[in-house]
Amino acid sequence: MVSKELQALLTVIDQAFDKKSWHGTNLRGSLRGVTHSEASWRPAPGRHNIWELALHAAYWKYVVKRRLLGEPRGSFPRTGSDWFPRPAGKTSVDWKRDVRLLVEMHRSMRDAVGKLRPAELYSVPAGSKVSNLDLISGIAAHDLYHAGQIQLLKRLGAKGSH
């Protein structure tokens, strides 16, 4: 059985990712219906696109899960860390695969959160400078931050040609 504290955190991360909430579009909702070409569009050279933001979010869900479970580095399914340049040679199939990866990373991280004991919320895991509580609440804020960026990029991209 999950404690009330952990249930509240699970609700927060779910609302920031893919469950209905009062605050507006969550991360998964911001990606709904986005095409390969929309995901690839850049507002300017050297700026991130929607695709890179989605994969960046997946990577940080992986990092949170890894820290919560004390797992070693190096098992993220894409080569690199933090930012992954896209789409150089990537297709719509690759875009859909990376969106699925984001969903899988969320589920995996969520499972790790659900396995914590309430006392573990205040521990600082190896490789982190902040507590498990801060990691979990922070990943929800991270999702919403990038959801807002994606919503803005969609609006900007709709005015351009891609």
Structural domain spans, the chain:
4-159
Q: What is the pTM of this model?
A: 0.94
Cα dihedral across residues 93, 94, 97, 102: positive or negative: negative
Residue given tokens 């952990």 in the structure block: 6
Tokens for 62, please give them. Answer: 């992986």
| DSSP-H helix ranges across the chain | 4-17, 27-31, 36-40, 50-69, 92-114, 132-159
pLDDT at residue 160, as a whole number = 60
pLDDT at residue 88, as a whole number = 81
Domain made up of 4-159: CATH architecture: Up-down Bundle (1.20)
CA–CA separation, 70 vs 62, rounded Å?
A: 12
One pLDDT digit (tens) per residue for the chain, 162 residues: 778 999 999 999 999 999 999 999 999 999 999 999 999 999 999 999 999 999 999 999 999 999 999 998 888 999 989 999 998 888 999 999 999 999 999 999 999 999 999 999 999 998 889 999 999 999 999 999 999 999 999 999 876 654
pLDDT at residue 151, as a whole number = 97
